[in-house]
Amino acid sequence: MDQAAADEFVHRFATYWQAPKPQDLHQILAEDVRLVTPRMPTTDGLDAAVEGFTGLFELIPDLTGQVHRWGPHQDGVFIEFTLSGTLGGGPVSWRAIDSFDVGPDGLATKRVSFFDPAPIAEAANSGA
């Protein structure tokens, strides 16, 4: 992945997370994308991704993300960012590092997310 393509992907990712909507995932994810997330089943395909993100946004409707830094790897990019929103009546945020494999069309074919799910579980339990 060349520098210009990596810059463009990270820009689209950061823009997506300013006002995310599941139906806009096609701007960053390929039709055959595979998503790997802690404590969640792996999903295959854009439709499954949209379904999963729809559930996430039902849980945390005001969820947004802020990119802190990123770096290239052989097949794509790593992106470090913070997701923030309201869950269980209070604020919740967590840092993540996502590893994206990006295809020649500039869309992610695989995303592996690395984060501690404890802040989400604690916020969800505090609102129960």
Q: How far is CA 99 from CA 5, 30, 85, 87, 128, in A?
A: 15, 15, 22, 26, 33
pLDDT at 39: 85
Chain length of the chain: 128
CATH number at residue 104: 3.10.450.50
**DSSP-derived pairing of the beta strands 29-36 and 43-44:** antiparallel
pLDDT at 120: 87
* pLDDT, averaged across the chain: 94
List of residues 6+ apart from 74 with CB closer than 8 A: 1
75 — phi, psi (to 5°)? Answer: -105, 5
Q: How many domains does the chain have?
A: 1
Question: Tokens 């097949």 belong to which residue?
Answer: 75
pLDDT bin (cut points 50, 70, 90) of residue 127 is low
pLDDT at 66: 98
pLDDT bin (cut points 50, 70, 90) of residue 58 is very high
Other CB atoms within a 10 A radius of the CB of residue 126 amount to 12
What are 73-118's pLDDT values in tens digits? Answer: 999 999 999 999 999 889 999 999 999 999 999 999 999 999 998 8
Q: Could you give the angle at the alpha carbon of 94 between the alpha carbons of 102 and 71, nearest 5°?
A: 35
Its domain, for residue 51, covers: 3-126
pLDDT bin (cut points 50, 70, 90) of residue 40 is confident
Look at the pTM and tell me if it is higher than 0.85.
Answer: yes
With CA atoms as reference, report the closest residue to 36 among 93, 96, 90, 114: 114
